[in-house]
Amino acid sequence: MGQTGTKKLETDIQTRNDLCVTQNPYGEFDLTGIYTETQSKGGRNVLQNWVTHPVNNIQTLHYRIESIRAGGIPSFEIDGNTLDFIEYYLNYNEPSPTTVLGVLSYYQWLKNKLQKNPWNYIKSRGCLYLCELIRELRQISSPIEESAQPDIIKQTLRMIRSYVDSNVFASIPNRETRLTCYEIDQFDYIFRNRGKIAVQGILDIVYELDAFRSAHQIAKEKGFCYPELHSGDTELVIHNFFHPALPQAVRNDWHLEEKHINIFTGSNMAGKSTTLKALSSVIWLAHAGLPVPATYMRCPVYKGIFTSINLPDSLKRGESHFYAEVLRIKSILEKVKEEDAYFIVFDELFRGTNARDAYEASVIVLNLLKKYPQSKFLLSTHIIELAEAFYTEKTCQFNYMESEIKDDRFLCSYRLKEGISESRIGSWLVRKELNTP
């Protein structure tokens, strides 16, 4: 319901793999796994669809976020088993009825009974459950009930009322009654023929309500916040963010306001890549319209999100890692428009070549990024000289992951600091692990 006609966020397979959106190569974590605890399969599918296919429409995102904040409709009890049976009935391998005749109904009912065909039971039970659901939705969407709800929920209740009070469902009684086989066939005709589209619309709303309530509860349990999304400027501020796969991880603050290029430095094992993945995951979830692992977030609505974190080389295409990096950067920049806002991450630029080439190639890329002021670029590098060369550049901001060698031990706080890292541990680590002086 909340995503009809909404344009999806621009992204690609590499980004989805980097952020483990639907699967992790090691089977440990994926973003869709955060939001799975729903009452119904349909509700779970809604949440997983939102995470898998984020959007860039600010109205859709606000609708989801505020509906989740409200927690759906607390008075509406969602029974997953009942909804599953309704779906089973609607999708059962029986032709949709085209007409209803009293004599034919009794004949077909008797025939199914003699042949021990389960369709009599499935049809009667499915119709009974749908009648109960429509009666309950009539009750919770009444003008009296609506008046006590937040404005965002009133919008949903009006949509429910437009379905359940329509002429197609006028014959459904407001109280439970015993149904004859002819009446069951009449309702079956409504649910699987005349009112088929309306039934699906009702179920879509119910599943969305399940998703709202579930996401609200998960956010409360995990300490997630509701992102503030905007389209007026490029300000991006996140407080106490963390990677959702690491709930006990050190939390960090990060902001990128007037400047649009952020250069990350830091030693190996200091947490640069994990921090970039955490930031990207938070922004991805915000564009799914879901609470995020942070305590505060103000974020522009981006047209697209692209990352280059775990970039493989290609034996099949005969590409070296360095050339794969060049092609990846090219493919991303070909998608970016100067007037639009994108969020883009490059982790360890040009790690597939020597330090000299990596430095010179990175300078070229950084100079290219200056002409995209509406977008945000995060680049990590182990080449300290690169950061120093751009230190006075007005478009660049500098952060690093804190670490040091003390008493012959590597100490890393996983704290994100402003400035350029001065830590170098490569030779120390090699000597220590290889036991050489």
Domains of the chain: 33-220 (1.10.1420), 226-433 (3.40.50.300)
Across the chain, mean pLDDT equals: 89
Least confident of 8-17, 321-330, 394-403, 428-437: 428-437
Residue 114's pLDDT is 74
Single-letter code of the amino acid located at 411:
L
With vertex at residue 190, the alpha carbon angle to CA 186 and CA 193, rounded to the nearest 5 degrees, is 120
* pLDDT bucket at 27, cuts 50 / 70 / 90: low
Single-letter code of the amino acid located at 422:
E
How many other C-beta atoms can be found within 10 angstroms of the C-beta atom of residue 80? Answer: 15
- Kindly state the tokens that stand for 84: 């599953």
DSSP 193: I
Q: What contacts 327, CB < 8 A, 6 or more positions away?
A: 319
**At 285, which helix (H) or strand (E)?**
helix 272-286
- Average pLDDT of span 216-222: 95
- Average pLDDT of span 143-151: 83
- Average pLDDT of span 234-255: 91
Least confident of 25-29, 108-112, 142-146, 356-360: 25-29
- Average pLDDT of span 79-98: 93
- Average pLDDT of span 241-260: 90
Q: From residue 65, give the alpha-carbon distance in Å to each of 2, 295, 425.
A: 11, 15, 43
> Which of 84-88, 242-246, 247-251, 257-261 has the highest mean predicted lDDT (pLDDT)?
84-88
Distance CA(273)–CA(310), nearest Å, equals 9
Residue 388's pLDDT is 93
* pLDDT bucket at 180, cuts 50 / 70 / 90: confident
Distance CA(260)–CA(422), nearest Å, equals 23
228 touches 238 (CB < 8 A): no
Residue 315's pLDDT is 44
Distance CA(317)–CA(139), nearest Å, equals 62
Residue 197's pLDDT is 95
Rounded to two decimals, the pTM is: 0.90
Three-state SS at 136: helix
410 touches 245 (CB < 8 A): no
- Average pLDDT of span 289-312: 94
206 touches 83 (CB < 8 A): yes
- Average pLDDT of span 83-107: 85
Q: Residue 270: is its pLDDT beyond 80?
A: no
Residue 181's pLDDT is 84
252 touches 15 (CB < 8 A): no
Q: Residue 59: is its pLDDT beyond 70?
A: yes
- Average pLDDT of span 194-199: 95
Q: Residue 427: is its pLDDT beyond 80?
A: no
Q: Residue 2: is its pLDDT beyond 60?
A: no
Q: Residue 110: is its pLDDT beyond 80?
A: no
Residue 146's pLDDT is 82
Q: Residue 66: is its pLDDT beyond 70?
A: yes
- Kindly state the tokens that stand for 253: 């603050």
Distance CA(134)–CA(89), nearest Å, equals 16
Q: Residue 316: is its pLDDT beyond 50?
A: no
Residue 280's pLDDT is 97
- Average pLDDT of span 210-232: 95
More confident residue, 51 or 384: 51
More confident residue, 267 or 328: 328
Residue 259's pLDDT is 93
Least confident of 54-63, 93-102, 419-428: 419-428
CB burial class (10 A; 0-12, 13-18, 19+) of residue 316?
exposed
Pick the closest to residue 213 from 394, 342, 345, 40 (CA basis). 40
Name the E strands within 215-251: 228-230, 236-241
Distance CA(231)–CA(108), nearest Å, equals 60
